[in-house]
Structure 1
Amino acid sequence: MSKTIFISGASKGFGKIWAEAFLKRGDKVVATARNIDTLQDLVTTYGDAILPLQLDVNDREADFAAIEKAKAHFGSIDVLINNAGFGVFGAVEEVSEKEARDQIETNVFGLLWLTQAAIPVMREQGHGHIIQISSVLGVATVPTLGIYNASKFAVEGLSETLAAEVKPFGINVTLVEPNGFSTDWGGPSALRSEKNPVYDDLREAVTKGFTPESIGKPEATTDAIIKLVDAQNPPLRLFLGKVGLPWVKQVYAQRLATWEEWAEVSTAAHGH
């Protein structure tokens, strides 16, 4: 059965690739972008099956209006994919106030506003699926991406809580956690803080860690996203790519070992 899917940040990268994949198989898509001219090729090909909406997700009032337009146009919203976001590259010391606020504003608050707008629609329908595009960096961190890591950790905590709150209404929540992919996330879409040379060696080491083999192909994710959208019982979390799971297993093993090492101190702090 055809679904109605709302995707933010659909002008390029994952958002546009997924929008086209859904349209190709007969779904209806509400695609938002700051510049809807980037969606004209999809409109030309798929006509009335796509509703392009100009949207800056940082504008809460506009987010609620976009959800209302989508519902009025197609009659329902089966899936919300909160994909809009970007990365700030910089060590924690390097990030400016504006860069930090802009990062959290888009990656956390933009996602929150669209989520809040969609919940009543989905609750009234008695079903829905909210898919939050997080990152493997919302589970484990990489140096010189601190404020981006922080934004995705926030999305993880928010969405895990949300999943428990909306489950009784028939609404599912999934955190999608891609590893590195060859989108322009690290290129034109990124912001780069003014560099402090004391971090140059660390920056170089981090860059060397991203080998061609570790970077996934964005087009290869479409089958996974379609399976996720079609799942009767979708998971709370889903990695995209082959790097995430092995890496996070190592990270969590180290965390557990540290917690165990300090368990006696932790227990004594309870007081009784």
Structure 2
Amino acid sequence: MSKIIFITGASKGFGKLWAEAFLKRGDKVAATARSLSSLNELAAAYGDNILPLQLDVNNREAVFNAVNKIEKHFGRIDVLINNAGHGLFGITEETTEAQAREQMETNFFGSLWVTQAVLPIFRKQKSGHLVQVSSYLGITTLPLLGIYNASKFAVEGLIETIAKETAHLGIKTTLIEPNGYATDWAGASATRTASDIADYTPVREAFFGATKNPNAWGKPEATVAPILQVVDSTNPPQRLLLGYNAYHVVQKVLTQRLKDVEDWKDVSIAAHG
């Protein structure tokens, strides 16, 4: 049976790649983007199987209106893929208030508004799968991505909480945690702060030097099969790392984190009083 997939940020990158994969296999897709014309290619290729909608996920009212249109058009929503988001590169101290707020508005609040709009439909259906695109930087961090890291840590806490609140209603959740991929996320879609403070020059040089390593970036097309597998699973994972670097970095970080917990266990327990 074909699924009804609602995916945000479908104009390029993961969103467009995954939307087309669902459409190719016969699913129906509600695809949103800030610019409706950016969805023309998919609309021309897949006709009635795609519902293209213009949407800025920062606009809560517009989000709820879009979700109402999707339900009326397709009758249900089986899977929500919260994919809209962008990167903010720069030293945390140099980040402006406007840049920080914009990062959180899109990456965190945008995901929250879309989720809040879709959950009533999932509850009515007693089924649904919330797939949230996070990052392995929702578990660990990299320099020059301080506010982006924070937005993904916030998203992780949000979705983990929703999972506990809705599991008894037949609603499933999955956090997708990619490492860097060769998409537009780090290109034209990204925002960069000023680079004026000389004390941070070594940090900047090390970071951008590492990004020139071709092994730092995964191949976007390699994510298609895993996403289809997650969406089709009757018991999907609560978290799925995507990419070689994501797996190895997170495995090392969590091992060290657990060691710290055990090494300081007696102090922690004594602090209970």
- TM-score under structure 1 length normalisation: 0.97
| CA drift at 1:175 | 0.1
Runs of 4+ in structure 1 over 3 Å off: none
Cα distance in structure 2, aligned partners of 1:252 and 1:130: 25
Give 2:128's aligned residue. 128
Give 1:206's aligned residue. 207
Cα distance in structure 2, aligned partners of 1:178 and 1:262: 31
Alignment of 1:245-264 (within 5 A): 245-264=247-266
| CA drift at 1:256 | 2.3
Cα distance in structure 1, aligned partners of 2:6 and 2:99: 27
CA RMSD of aligned residues (A): 1.0
Give 1:65's aligned residue. 65
| CA drift at 1:243 | 1.3
Give 2:143's aligned residue. 143
Alignment of 1:1-80 (within 5 A): 1-80=1-80
| CA drift at 1:213 | 1.4
| CA drift at 1:207 | 2.3
Report the identity percentage.
Answer: 59
Gaps of 5+ in 1: none
- TM-score under structure 2 length normalisation: 0.97
Cα distance in structure 2, aligned partners of 1:264 and 1:232: 41
| CA drift at 1:246 | 1.3
Give 1:118's aligned residue. 118
| CA drift at 1:257 | 2.6
Gaps of 5+ in 2: none
Q: Which amino acid in the other structure matches residue 111 of structure 1?
A: S
Cα distance in structure 2, aligned partners of 1:168 and 1:264: 36
SS in 2 for 1:185: helix
SS in 1 for 2:165: helix
Cα deviation 1:149-200 (Å, max 9, x = unaligned): 0000000011011111111111100000001100011110000011122212
Of 174-183 and 245-254, more deviation after overlay is shown by: 245-254
Q: Does 1:267 align with 2:269?
A: yes
Q: Which of 215, 238, 241 in structure 2 is aligned with 1:239?
A: 241
SS in 1 for 2:9: coil
Cα distance in structure 1, aligned partners of 2:161 and 2:185: 27
Of 250-259 and 132-141, more deviation after overlay is shown by: 250-259
